[in-house]
Amino acid sequence: MKRLLCSLLMLVAGQLGAVDFDYRLSARPLAENVYAFIGKTEDFTTDNGGNIVNTAFIVAAQGVIVIDSGPSLRYGQQMRRAIAAVTAKPIALVINTHHHPDHFLGNQAFADVPIAALAETRNGIAADGNAFAENLYRMSGDWMKGTEVQLPGKTLSAGVVEVAGRSLRLVALDGHTGADLVIVDATSGVVFAGDLAFNGRAPTTPHADIAHWLKALDQLDALTRESGFKLLVPGHGAPTTDAAPIRQTRAWLTWLSAALRDAAKAGLDMNDVLARPLPAEFASLPVAASEYRRSVGHLFPAAEQEALGAKP
């Protein structure tokens, strides 16, 4: 009896510990023929498999336009199945908004269709894609099994384009990375901001130029007012009917930039800066503490150099 009980306990433990690698993607309607998969406001883990990103698709007259492909081959494959559950139309184009891995490592599942990005995004994926994939293997484990880098084969430029019978306005900005694509769907009034805007989550800064990013946010803000948008989809966090993600992202970046600059001018070292508490405005923001630490590592050395250069 004792042996049987032990066997049963081991079986249950094994079942509880098993991972089914199901992202449970559910297409959320944003507007007529416009859908999104909304990720968690977390960092990469072996539990979420990298499902921390917003991806989307538009069902156009002649096919489906996919906006970002997710963090892994599995995600891309499951995304295609979820799209097929909504429409039988073929995939016409996949667009990568920038070169961070959670936005393009699902490309492999769309290797049979055109994949496009800004020129600098294509270059960034070619240069850093394999290193990004290896890092996500370390962070997300076997969710990444079989994932390899699939480069975008087409180059996008700013302007109005017709894709599968749908008019899209492509706006090329930078700041979060060296090339950040904003997509305005004129038909629905939905603006896809990519990772220029975060909502309810601290922004990530591994390739950030804060001054450029703040300028891009001003341009994005003006664009939303000009276009009379109905919905803003950030790269991470919930879509909104107002410009709240732009305001939240600007507030974080403005504080972060000033905090690092002031700390450098005061002669603090990196350990001192890392030990500083977050202001109350951001203390409860998801992943704020970890993103602050990462940002200090990314950005404080430049702030120190700037402070040293400013001294007589």
| pLDDT, mean over the chain | 93
Rounded distance between C-alpha atoms, residue 57 and residue 276, angstroms: 41
CA dihedral 202, 227, 171, 108 (to 10 degrees): 70
Question: Is residue 286, in this structure, part of any structural domain at all?
Answer: no
**Least confident segment among 2-6, 102-106, 132-136, 307-311:** 2-6
| Residue pLDDT, tens place only, 222-261 | 999 888 899 999 999 999 999 999 999 999 999 999 999 9
What is the pLDDT at residue 99? 98
Burial 15-35 (b: 16+ CB within 10 A, else e): eeeeeeeebebebeebeebbb
Residue with tokens 């600007």: 250
* Six token digits for residue 306: 């700037």
Question: Residue 93: is its pLDDT beyond 50?
Answer: yes
Q: What confidence tier does 15 reach under pLDDT thresholds 50, 70, 90?
A: very low
Question: Is residue 290, in this structure, part of any structural domain at all?
Answer: no
Q: What confidence tier does 310 reach under pLDDT thresholds 50, 70, 90?
A: low
Question: Is residue 73, in this structure, part of any structural domain at all?
Answer: yes
* Six token digits for residue 145: 């099994």
Question: Is residue 108, in this structure, part of any structural domain at all?
Answer: yes
| Residue pLDDT, tens place only, 49-65 | 999 999 999 999 999 99
Question: Is residue 248, in this structure, part of any structural domain at all?
Answer: no
Q: Which backbone phi and psi does 205 adopt, to 5 degrees?
A: -135, 25
Q: Residue 3: in which H helix or E strand, if any?
A: helix 2-17
Number of domains observed in the structure of the chain: 1
* Percent residues over pLDDT 90 in the chain: 91
Question: Is residue 11, in this structure, part of any structural domain at all?
Answer: no
Measured in whole angstroms, the distance separating CA 250 from the mean position of its chain's CA atoms is: 17
| Residue pLDDT, tens place only, 67-80 | 999 999 999 999 99
Question: Residue 130: is its pLDDT beyond 80?
Answer: yes
Q: What confidence tier does 9 reach under pLDDT thresholds 50, 70, 90?
A: very low
Residue 25 is part of which domain span? 20-241
What is the pLDDT at residue 227? 81
Residue 109 DSSP one-character state = G
Question: Is residue 254, in this structure, part of any structural domain at all?
Answer: no
Q: Could you tell me the CA-to-CA distances from 275 to 94, 268, 278, 296 in Å, in that order?
A: 42, 11, 9, 11
User: Would you say 227 and 263 are in contact if contact means Cβ atoms under 8 Å apart?
Assistant: no
Q: What confidence tier does 19 reach under pLDDT thresholds 50, 70, 90?
A: low
Question: Residue 270: is its pLDDT beyond 90?
Answer: yes
What is the pLDDT at residue 13? 38
Question: Is residue 246, in this structure, part of any structural domain at all?
Answer: no
> Where residue 185 sits, what CATH number does that domain have?
3.60.15.10
* Six token digits for residue 147: 């994932």
Bigger pLDDT: 312 vs 260: 260
Question: Residue 8: is its pLDDT beyond 50?
Answer: no
